[in-house]
Chain A
Amino acid sequence: MTGALIDLFGWSYALASFLLWIGAQLLGLGNWISLQLGAPSPGPLEGMIGFVTGAPLTSLVAIILAINILLLWATAFHLLIVMWIERKMYSRLQDRRGIMLGLGSSEILRNTLGRIPLIGRPFRKASHLGTGFLQTVADGVKLFQKEVITPASADKWMFHAAPVMIAASTLFLFIAIPWSDGFWIMGSRLPNGDVVNPWGVLVILGAFSVAPLSILIAGWASNNKYTLLGGMRAAAQLMSYEIPMVLSIIALVVFAGTLDPFQLVRQQSAPLTFGLGPFGTVQIPWLPNWYIFNPILWIAFVVFFITVIAEAERIPFDIPEAEAELVEGWTTEYSGMRFGIVFGFKWLRAIAGAALIAILFLGGWSGPVFAQVWIPNIASPGNLWPIPILPQEFWFTLKIYAIFVVFVWIGWSVPRVRIDQILNIGWKRLLPLSLLAILLATLARGMGWF
C-alpha cells in the first residue's frame, strides 16, 4: 500500500475502537456506581461492557464510520470545491466581474481592513482570484430554510419519492469508486496485499442506469406539462447515451480484460508498453501505461468523454434543464432542499463521471511519489508512520479536477444542442463509432498489435 495516505478501514476501525473504549469506560463507571449502591457483584452492566468492546460491534461501528467519512469526502469536500471551480471558471470565461472579485477589490475594505497587520492580508490587493468559497455553503443554508411547495393535484408520493431516488442512485455511485489503494468501501483484500473488486465498473454503470427512471417520475409527478416534457426528453437523452458508454467501456475491456478499478490502475502503473505484432514490443520507461496513450483506444476515449458529459446533463447536452427555455426543466416545481438535492447532485454525477474517466483512461491514482516523511505513529507508539509526499489521493483528485475543468471549458464555450440533434448524435453517430472502436480493439489485440 505504498503511496496511499488514507487507509479507510484501518483508521475507522481504530476510531471505532477508541469511541467504544470511551463508551466502555462510561459503562464501567456506571457499573462501579451500581456496585456501590448495593447491586450484587459482578455489576449489572458487566456483560454490556464485554459486548461493547467486542469485535462484531467494533466492526459495525467501523463500517458506519467509514461510510460516513467517504460520503462526507465525496459530497462535502469535493462537491463544494467543484462547484467553486465551476463558478470561477465560467465567470472568467464569460468575463463576469462580480464572481471574480476578490476581497481586496473594494476600496473601502482595502483601506480599512487591509491596514490591519496580519489578518488584513487578503484585503490588501485588488485581485481577480477572490474567494467566494462559502457562497456554496450559503446557498445550501438558504435552500434548507425555504418552504417546500407541493403543486396542486400533484402525485404527492411520487413527487417526494423522486428526489429520494435521484439522491440515492447518485450517492450509490460512490460505493464503487476507490480514491486510492486504501480509501475504498467496496473491495476485498487478497493475502498478498492487493485489493480486488471484480465488478466495480459495472456497479457504477448500474447506478447511472437508474437515473432515467427517477427523472421521468420526477417530471411526471409535478403535474406540469413542461416538466413532463422535460422529463421525457431527459429520459430519452440519458438512455441514448448509455449504450455508447457501455460499448466504449467494452472496447477498453478488450485490452484490460477486467472491470476491476484496482486492477485497471495496477495495469496502468506499469511503464508504457506497445506491442508491434511481429516486430516485438517497445517499452517507454518514462511514461506510464495509461490507456489514453494507446492510439487504438482514442475513439473509445472520445466517445466515452462525450457520453459522460451527456450523462451528467451538462451543457451542451442540458436541454432537459435548459435554463433559457424550460425554466428549470424537469425540476421546476421543486423548491427548498428537494431542489437543492437534484441540483447539487448533478455535480456529483459529473464528479463520478470524471472519476470514472480518470480510473479507466488516465491511470487513476497512479502518480510519482517523490518522498516519504516519517512521523511518529499515534496508534502504535514507538513505530513510525510513513506519509507519502504527494499521496495517491492527491493525484486522483488532481486528475478529477483537470477533467472537470475540461468539462466546464467545453460547457461554457459551446451552444446548447437541440433535443433531436442530441438523439441524432447519440444513436446515429456515437453508437456506430463505439462499435467501430470495439472492432478495432479486437483486431488490434487479436493480431498482437498494441
Chain B
Amino acid sequence: MPVFKTYMKVVKKNLLMALIYTGIFVMLVFMFSSSAEPSVKFESVSLGVCVIDEDNTEASKALTDYIGSTNTLVEIENDKDEILDALYYTRADYVLTIKNGFEEKIRAGETENLLTNYQLPDSYDGVFIDNKINHYVSTLSAYMAANDNVSEAISKTNDTLSKETEVTVETFSDDGNESTDYIIKLAFFFTYLPYGLISVLISILTVVLIKMNKKEIAARTNSSSTPVFSQTMQIILGSLLLVAAVWVLFMLVGIVINGGMFTGKAWLAVLNSFVFTLVSAGIAILTSTLTSEPRYVALVANIVPLSMSFLCGIFVEQSLLGENILAFSRFLPAYWYIKATDMLAFTSEATFDYSEFMSCLGIEALFAVALFALILLANKYKHSKG
C-alpha cells in the first residue's frame, strides 16, 4: 500500500499546524471554564444585617434571632444618615426596622406596616433577605391566627423554617453526583469543540489531500500501473484513520478535562461530537477540492471556524444572538450542534428533549451528506475541465 504509507508520512510532516490549533482549543477551554462562575450551584451566604427593634416584644426578638441565625447582625445608630453611610460603605447589606406594635398587629392578623428597611437599589442580597423575612412573618402570622400563644407560634415557626428543601440540578449525568467543575468544564469543552475540530481538520486533512492530489503528482501516479481505484481507496483509508484519530484525540482531551470517563448524558454529547466530526471532515475535504494552494488553507482554517463560532453560538450564547443572525445560522451545521449541546448543558434557555436532540443530530448528518455530495460534484466538474 505505497499510497497509504506515503499519506501517513505526509500527515506526520504536516502535524505542526494541527497541534497548534489543538493547543489553542485546549487553552480556550481551560481559560474560559476556569474563569466562569458556577451557574448551577446554590450556596447560602451570610450577610451583614442591622436590626433596629422599636417593638421590643417576644415576637420582634424572635424575628431578630431568626435573621441573626443565618446572617451577621451589625449595630448601627438609628439615624438615616448613619444608616445610608453604613450601606454605602458596605458595613451592612440590609437595615431592618421592626416598627412599634409589630407583635400586636400580627396578633390582630394585620400584615401591613410591620417593618421598614433600607437596602442598596437592585440588590439581589436585599431581595433575598426580603424573601426570608416575609416568609418568617407570614408563617408566624399563620400560627398566631390559629390561636397559638406567642411562644408556641414562635417555636413552631422556627421548626417549620429549619426544614431545608433539597435541590437537585439535572445535567450531563443521570446519577446526579457530579461536581460543579464537571458540569462547567464539559459544557465548555463540548461547546468549543466545533472550533477545534474544524480548525484542526482543515489544517491537516485539507493540506494532506491537496498535496496527495497535486496535479503533477496525480499525473504521475495515475499513469502508473497501480489502479486509480486502489489509489483512491488508500487515500480514503488514510483520511478515515486521520479523522478518527483527530476525534479520538479530542475525546481524550475531554476525558482529561473531565477528570475521568464520561457518564450519563455526556455520551450523547460524544455522539453529537462524532456526527459533527463528519461534518468538519466534509468541510475540510471540500476545501481541498476548491483550492490547490496549501498557503490559502491557513486562511480558510481561521475564517471558517471563527465565523461559525461567532454566528452559531460557540463564542456567544445562542440566547444572546439576534433573530437575524440566528435565522442565518440555521443554515450552518454548527448551529444545530450547539443547539443539541445547549440542551445537554441545561442552560436557562434549553431543556433536554430526546427527540429534539436526535433531530439536531439528524440535521447535522444531512449537512454531512450534502457536503459529500458537493465534493463529488466539484470533483466531477474538475475532471470534466481536464
Q: Do A and B come from one complex?
A: no
